[in-house]
């Protein structure tokens, strides 16, 4: 019999790409689960067992993990800063997903559990300056994470740790830093900066109204990881025998939001007037990934240049918009 692998959140952006990778590799039965109706999945593959389940419910988790050897938990109610700053309670309810998956996995004999955490777990007082140095894994403590979403992620990290210590369930945790690429959200309020800026530039280009709204003053800094690097990193971390603690998974190429707009404008061949909305959600002033540990442990780090990844992302969103498709 083939090994069964469960991907929770398979109808989402990262989950869909992970299912695609597992199916291309072959040799496993993939169970893809998401709360969304099938028509709203970003990617759905006939080669997987596709299930619509609400994994906040324990019985749904028990159904999903039945017979599974490995679980990849990428399921969460989340989005870009415009969503997580205004929906803290909803974000924290995602704790039910990881809790019930761990409980069900322990009882079902799951051998390995991957949890998708976030750079939002890092202490806010280390992210006040746009010129921030890379955040090291140790910078999550003393705890002062992003309110709501970050607290849920940090708590779930600890839950994974203690399920390993108390019950022997092997867990792996990666702290994602801003993942982007094709086949993801680009409108509707949950999209992240690379997709949102691409959409706004395309709208300006198509409409002839040559201006763009930027949230904040544009000087806030971030790093952005291309989806192919993210999926490769998930696979390496899950297979690793030595990465037994939460580890950064993100690009170390830091840019300001203004610089990100510069890149997208250059790809589009257009220059826009910038209007800064200082009242819009903008998150912390500076965040970047310190990759010393992942380079030491795995001899690798996410390394797709931002310009290269944005060209592919922009082209995909442009095709979606000009074909009249929805990007939620």
Residues involved in catalysis: 149
- Looking at residue 48, the DSSP 8-state letter turns out to be S
Size of the chain, expressed as the number of residues it contains: 328
Q: At what angle do helices 58-65 and 95-108 cross, to 10 degrees?
A: 50
As a whole number of angstroms, the distance between CA 39 and CA 55 comes to 18
CA distances from 15 to 53, 250, 252, 291 (A): 15, 17, 23, 23
3-state secondary structure 108-134: HCCCEEEEEEEHHHCCHHHCCCCCCCC
As a whole number of angstroms, the distance between CA 73 and CA 87 comes to 21
DSSP calls for 280-313: S----SB--B--HHHHHHHS------HHHHHHHH
- Looking at residue 135, the DSSP 8-state letter turns out to be B
As a whole number of angstroms, the distance between CA 226 and CA 65 comes to 29
Tell me which residue has tokens 């995602």: 94
As a whole number of angstroms, the distance between CA 255 and CA 286 comes to 10
DSSP calls for 83-96: HHTT-HHHHHTTHH
Q: Quick one: tokens of 281?
A: 């959600």
Residues 121/150, Cβ–Cβ less than 8 Å: yes
Residues 313/185, Cβ–Cβ less than 8 Å: no
Ramachandran assignment for 109, one of left (phi > 0), alpha (psi -120 to 50 degrees), beta (any other)? left
């Amino acid at each position: 019999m083939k090994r069964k692998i469960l991907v929770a959140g398979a109808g989402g952006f990262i989950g869909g790409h992970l299912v695609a990778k597992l199916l291309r590799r072959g040799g496993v039965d993939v169970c893809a689960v998401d709360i969304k109706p099938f028509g709203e999945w970003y990617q759905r593959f006939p080669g997987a067992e596709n299930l619509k389940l609400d994994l906040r419910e324990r019985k749904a988790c028990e159904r999903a993990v039945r017979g599974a050897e490995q679980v990849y938990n990428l399921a969460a109610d989340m989005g870009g800063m415009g969503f997580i700053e205004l929906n803290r309670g909803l974000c924290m309810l995602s704790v039910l997903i990881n809790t019930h998956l761990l409980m069900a996995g322990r009882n079902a004999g799951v051998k390995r559990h991957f949890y998708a955490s976030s750079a939002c777990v890092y202490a806010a007082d280390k992210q006040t300056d746009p010129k921030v140095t890379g955040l090291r894994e140790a910078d999550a403590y003393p705890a002062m994470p992003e309110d709501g979403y970050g607290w849920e992620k940090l708590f779930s990290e600890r839950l994974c740790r203690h399920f390993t210590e108390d019950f022997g369930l092997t867990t792996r945790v990666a702290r994602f830093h801003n993942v982007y690429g094709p086949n993801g959200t680009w409108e509707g309020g949950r999209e992240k900066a690379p997709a949102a800026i691409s959409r706004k530039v395309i709208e300006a280009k198509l409409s002839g109204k040559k201006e763009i709204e930027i949230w904040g003053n544009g000087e806030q800094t971030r790093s952005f990881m291309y989806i192919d690097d993210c999926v490769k990193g998930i696979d390496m971390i899950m297979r690793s025998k030595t990465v037994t603690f939460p580890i950064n998974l993100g690009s170390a190429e830091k840019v300001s939001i203004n610089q990100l707009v510069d890149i997208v404008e250059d790809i589009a061949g257009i220059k826009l007037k910038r209007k800064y909305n200082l009242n819009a959600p903008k998150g912390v002033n500076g965040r970047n990934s310190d990759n010393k540990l992942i380079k030491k442990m795995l001899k690798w780090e996410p390394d797709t240049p931002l310009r290269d990844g944005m060209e592919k992302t922009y082209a995909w969103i442009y095709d979606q918009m000009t074909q009249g498709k929805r990007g939620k």
